[in-house]
């Protein structure tokens, strides 16, 4: 088997939300197998600092500001990409925000903000990056949904709807982009220890999650990054339109009786 199927040397990846959490863990993993990485993030200081740190290690990791909820910001980002890079082979779209709020208390502003970043942002970014990939007839796109897009959960009307929308979008993209040798898959992280989750998950939320996770723990950003890496590889070429949970078994579990564990 061609060993190049499992390395990314010479490829360029865009990672949105790459300045922190799962995004940063993925940037680290992609760069470790030879990819050049572009961090797209709204946090200018953190993005620039992280890029500098990687370059000191001899890694090619650049930072470009981008607000994925703004079409103008994305178009400016793409303009910079087209001027400075010959191709984009990989897009991993992590950028997103969370909300845990009862449905009846969710305002229209809450709803619009979540949808604009999580769903509209996914649409806009994948649309523009896919144009670059189509011209080269190659690409790996990984969108990021959530177990909240697979299962109902209290306080997740807006968040769950946005992530469910990402799953539907991914399935359409997988079909429409397949003639151009572009695969599109989505990751569905469960309870992962990130800053976003720390802000969203109170003590009761954690208890409720842990009761339904067979592994009885939250995951780590590196565990999601490992799954993301797999879908970026040339050797993953026949995996397309997949909805892939990384949740310690949460989405497949039912009744869990402690005496059986």
Mean pLDDT of 105-129: 97
Model pLDDT, residue 223: 95
The pLDDT confidence band at residue 1, using thresholds 50, 70 and 90, is very low
Show the domains of the chain with their CATH numbers: 10-260 (3.40.50.720)
Q: Would you say residue 93 has pLDDT above 70?
A: yes
Q: Of the listed 85, 159, 180, 238, which one is catalytic?
A: 159
pLDDT digits (tens, 9 = 90+) for 23-39: 999 999 999 999 999 99
Distances (CA, A) of 76 to 64, 67, 72: 10, 10, 6
Residue 61's φ and ψ, nearest 5 degrees, are -125, 115
Model pLDDT, residue 6: 62
Chain mean pLDDT for the chain? 92
Beta strands in 178-242 (DSSP E): 182-189
pLDDT digits (tens, 9 = 90+) for 202-244: 888 888 888 888 888 899 999 999 999 999 999 999 999 999 9
Model pLDDT, residue 97: 92
Residue of 198 and 111 predicted with greater confidence: 111
pLDDT digits (tens, 9 = 90+) for 150-166: 988 888 999 999 999 99
The pLDDT confidence band at residue 50, using thresholds 50, 70 and 90, is very high
Q: Would you say residue 253 has pLDDT above 90?
A: no
- Do 226 and 29 contact (CB within 8 A), yes or no? yes
Give catalytic status of residue 63 as yes or no: no
Q: At 44, is the secondary structure helix, strand, or coil?
A: helix
Q: Would you say residue 62 has pLDDT above 90?
A: yes
Distances (CA, A) of 148 to 155, 184, 208: 10, 20, 14
């Amino acid at each position: 088997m061609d060993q190049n199927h499992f390395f990314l040397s010479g490829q360029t990846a865009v990672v949105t939300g790459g300045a922190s959490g799962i995004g940063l863990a993925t940037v680290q993993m992609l760069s470790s197998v030879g990819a050049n990485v572009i961090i797209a993030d709204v946090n200018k200081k953190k993005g620039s600092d992280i890029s500098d740190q990687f370059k000191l290690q001899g890694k090619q990791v650049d930072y470009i500001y981008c607000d994925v909820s703004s079409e103008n910001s994305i178009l400016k980002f793409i303009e910079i990409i087209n001027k400075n890079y010959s191709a984009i082979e990989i897009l991993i779209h992590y950028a997103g925000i969370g909300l845990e709020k009862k449905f009846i208390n969710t305002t229209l502003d809450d709803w619009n903000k979540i949808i604009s970043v999580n769903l509209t942002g996914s649409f806009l970014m994948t649309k523009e990056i896919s144009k670059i990939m189509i011209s080269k007839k190659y690409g790996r796109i990984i969108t990021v949904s959530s177990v909240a897009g697979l299962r109902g959960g209290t306080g997740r009307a807006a968040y769950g709807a946005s992530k469910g929308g990402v799953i539907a979008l991914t399935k359409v993209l997988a079909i429409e982009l397949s003639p151009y040798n572009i695969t599109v898959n989505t990751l569905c992280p469960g309870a992962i220890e990130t800053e976003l989750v720390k802000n969203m998950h109170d003590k009761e939320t954690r208890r409720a999650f842990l009761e339904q996770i067979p592994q009885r723990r939250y995951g780590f950003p590196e565990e999601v990054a490992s799954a993301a890496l797999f879908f970026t590889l040339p050797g993953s070429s026949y995996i397309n339109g997949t909805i892939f949970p990384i949740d310690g078994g949460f989405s497949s579990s039912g009744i869990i009786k402690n005496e059986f564990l």
